[in-house]
Structure 1
């Protein structure tokens, strides 16, 4: 019923957490698909032992020759998915034993074809919920309500209809990593999410994790620039001016240009001018807060 996909790169020291979580699931109607993004540690040897000794569920291992980043590895894994629903389980996290059982019940009882994913909460190692709870339980929400009106913040966990992911793969850039949230926003414009105030995922802080990794100003500028293009390119000027979410990316679009050379992929002149006005109006506020 479920695909659980794990992209990994040199995480043999954290992967046992994921494996232990799967072994402890009260319902094991899933296949675990691991895409190794060119690891040079003992990941292959570790997973080979698990494949040999695990009978409760199937483990599929696929190794890439060249490290191309998490998003590309996720896309490769999506192509390997055969089951109806898909979960992305990071290589350094864990989740509660009832996760698959809960999700199975929710999907079985759901008859709404407009829903593309189930979203649940995330807690940290001490058991504290990370970020905002949803304003209501079993909250069916579109992009405008979730992001533009409520701006729900903090780590969340997701279980997707596989066909939705296959049609809307992770957004890639040759310059930098593009955050998963931009792909989720893109999907949410076409499909509703069913958001439930139950914590499934447990997030572990990792010094070598993607979020914790330090980057240069130029690298950050590339991330913000490309992220701004994704979010602003197909929205109206009125929405850019009206909503805080878009004004944030308008500000970052202009700011990132200060660190980057002339770009060939740019917003239209009118949108760039709008972003510049938003940037100039917000500079005094930024200075006050710093």
Structure 2
């Protein structure tokens, strides 16, 4: 089974869109695990209504507001599927997302695969990042760092559950964010990641209160999480410029952590 894991915090106004996209899946052989990260809006009542009418199993996990990374850990821990598709609460899936992935999985004889990756597209129809030409089933083998540099945009990942259980997100007291790429890179160290660079399997938008729009503030509030990421990322980047940028970011994190009384 495939498990779709969604961490949500005060996204009642977008959750229905995601739910409807799941209801429209051509193949409903999946479960939806939703982790409510301490929402104060109508998220709880919405999720109850979803459970009552869903055409697929739904598990709801409630936790105190701890951050998306902790919510992902929580969601993975209660998931039943062998494969985990991480989908944000303000995004959605195209109708063939589940069926396309399960078809790929059924025909893949490579036992060393720890994850699959697909393209994201905005709701207006624009590919996130650079456009590549080819067939939807064309595959490239890369690390998440290499893929980010190659595609120049966010990507949609489906990981083997055992890999996410082995590489949980680290948790730092007083912080609510750790860059996902830190964990994705660790997973890629254990096996093969297959990138389908010509297949859209994820629909998204970037909200004003989201991570992308508030990077500087999040860096200041979460210097240990970001610091851990940039410290390891220096060695993973191949170009001198990228290594330098990561070194500068790491130095910033050190400064922010000292100012906040934490040790990076």
TM over 0.5: yes
Native 8 Å contact 2:179 2:226 kept in 1: no
Judging changes above 3 Å, is the alpha-carbon distance between structure 1 residues 81 and 261 closer, same or farther for their aligned structure 2 residues? same
- How many residues were matched structurally? 257
| Cα drift, residue 215 of structure 1 | 4.6
**SS of the residue 2:35 aligns to:** strand
Native 8 Å contact 1:143 1:189 kept in 2: no
**SS of the residue 2:212 aligns to:** coil
The TM-score, its normalising length taken from structure 2, stands at: 0.86
Could you tell me how far apart the structure 1 residues matched to 2:179 and 2:10 are? 20
**SS of the residue 2:13 aligns to:** coil
Shifted more, 76-85 versus 205-214: the winner is 205-214
| Cα drift, residue 204 of structure 1 | 1.4
Q: Report the equivalent of 1:287.
A: none
| Cα drift, residue 231 of structure 1 | 2.7
Judging changes above 3 Å, is the alpha-carbon distance between structure 1 residues 47 and 139 closer, same or farther for their aligned structure 2 residues? same
| Cα drift, residue 44 of structure 1 | 1.3
Judging changes above 3 Å, is the alpha-carbon distance between structure 1 residues 9 and 16 closer, same or farther for their aligned structure 2 residues? same
Could you tell me how far apart the structure 2 residues matched to 1:42 and 1:96 are? 25
Judging changes above 3 Å, is the alpha-carbon distance between structure 1 residues 20 and 70 closer, same or farther for their aligned structure 2 residues? same
Judging changes above 3 Å, is the alpha-carbon distance between structure 1 residues 163 and 207 closer, same or farther for their aligned structure 2 residues? same
User: How does 1:31-46 map onto structure 2 within 5 Å?
Assistant: 31-46=31-46
Could you tell me how far apart the structure 2 residues matched to 1:128 and 1:240 are? 28
Q: Which residue of the other structure, out of 232, 247, 266, is the alignment partner of 2:244?
A: 247
| Cα drift, residue 60 of structure 1 | 0.9
| Cα drift, residue 264 of structure 1 | 7.2
Judging changes above 3 Å, is the alpha-carbon distance between structure 1 residues 8 and 240 closer, same or farther for their aligned structure 2 residues? closer
Native 8 Å contact 2:34 2:60 kept in 1: yes
What residue ranges of structure 1 are gaps of 5+ in the alignment? 267-290
Q: Report the equivalent of 2:185.
A: 185
User: How does 1:97-112 map onto structure 2 within 5 Å?
Assistant: 97-112=95-110
What whole-Å deviation, never above 9, does each CA across 1:205-224 have from its counterpart, x for those lacking one?
A: 21222322365473376664
Judging changes above 3 Å, is the alpha-carbon distance between structure 1 residues 242 and 5 closer, same or farther for their aligned structure 2 residues? closer
Asked if 1:225 is matched to 2:227, the reply is yes
What whole-Å deviation, never above 9, does each CA across 1:82-113 have from its counterpart, x for those lacking one?
A: 11111011100011100000000101111112
Q: Report the equivalent of 1:169.
A: 168
| Cα drift, residue 246 of structure 1 | 2.7
Q: Report the equivalent of 1:278.
A: none
The TM-score, its normalising length taken from structure 1, stands at: 0.79
Asked if 1:205 is matched to 2:202, the reply is no
- Which structure's relative contact order is higher, taking Cα pairs within 8 Å and 6+ residues apart? 2
Judging changes above 3 Å, is the alpha-carbon distance between structure 1 residues 245 and 100 closer, same or farther for their aligned structure 2 residues? same
Q: Report the equivalent of 1:74.
A: 72
